[in-house]
Amino acid sequence: MLSFLNYLTPAVLSLLLATPYASATPYIQRRATVCNGHAELCDKSFGNVTFVGAHNSYAVGVNNLATNQDYDISQQLKDGIRMLQMQAHNQDGTIQLCHTACSLYNGGTLQDYLGKVKTFMDANPDEVVSLLIVNSDNLAPSLYDTVFKAAGVDTMSYAPDSASLPATGWPTLGSLIDSGKRLVTFLSTTADFTAVPYLIDEFTNIWETKFDVTDTTFDCEVDRTKGDSSTQMYLINHFLDESLAGVPVPNKDQANVTNSASGVGSLGLQVSTCATQHGRNPNFMLVDFYEFGGGSIFQVAADANGVTYSPTTPIATPIADGASASTTSSGSSNSAPADFRIAQSQLYAAFGAMLCVVFGALTIL
């Protein structure tokens, strides 16, 4: 009998080691206990969290109508921005981040930009970050894939099980962190799930409110989508523009009001309005000059997520137009080349001079 047991024991152990319980053990690397700064968010679905996003996050500088941020993405991420929106263009075979046109504002290469994202994420392993790429020149996903691989962020990019997911179908922040797939990237056009599954089609997964708003109403109507807005995640474009010769430009003078947590035209009011109208909070809130308001945008997100906003260090200090461009960021800035920088006062002056010439000519006639 003993000899039989001696024979049986190794066999039984072998079978036990082959069970799912035993084989699964080596794959449990870690379990996130704090996610995006809060333990309470670890068990929340990605589709049930409100993130603050930087509109045209690469367009950094002062005294320039083509810029939307004062600090570069390294500082943005440090302060709490968790969605980075950008415009991608093809310039001589290289993907560049440009505002409308690379001749107007060139924020550098996508590869350099992604390198900064990777640096932050490597140093902050409990953070989930989203990218929103406006694919201005309809570049193929394979071109982005090449750049993502060169920057080393493809291996940390999340690929969903299908091309589109309802807001309720996304994994939790904790599971994204545990898996190491913490970078969630949306592409506005040409996304191909079969070719590059981690470049996720934006408008089948997210709907947006209108942009280039020049009044303070900031409504919550569906402006762009390719899916069912009742089940998709959604994004509010909360940045105020003003019209200059019929062209919308950032209204930086009102940034403190626009980014505030309450009041007419505030981020807080739009979030509250949209939550009431749609029965759920927005997933993403895109803002300009994020540091204006002294952290109010992060307070709005914290309130929406049911957590406490208590930063360990103050966020960056607002920079008013008229300051030196060399002081705009702590570190490197993706500022436009000097020959493309246009101060708002200069543009107004030039526009006024043009009107004087026109009216003078009419008087002569």
- Pairwise CA distance, residues 358 & 348, whole Å: 15
- Pairwise CA distance, residues 306 & 44, whole Å: 11
- Pairwise CA distance, residues 80 & 51, whole Å: 9
CB 318 within 8 A of CB 255: yes
- Pairwise CA distance, residues 305 & 280, whole Å: 11
- Pairwise CA distance, residues 187 & 342, whole Å: 30
CA distances from 188 to 88, 145, 200, 346, 364 (A): 10, 15, 9, 34, 51
Whether residue 55 lies in the annotated active site: yes
- Pairwise CA distance, residues 241 & 255, whole Å: 10
Question: Token pair for residue 237?
Answer: 């474009």
> Catalytic residue among 38, 89, 99, 238, which?
99
Whether residue 238 lies in the annotated active site: no
CA distances from 16 to 6, 11, 25, 101 (A): 16, 9, 12, 62
- Pairwise CA distance, residues 80 & 315, whole Å: 9
Question: Token pair for residue 254?
Answer: 């009102």
- Pairwise CA distance, residues 183 & 77, whole Å: 13
> Catalytic residue among 55, 89, 238, 278, which?
55
Catalytic center residues: 55, 99
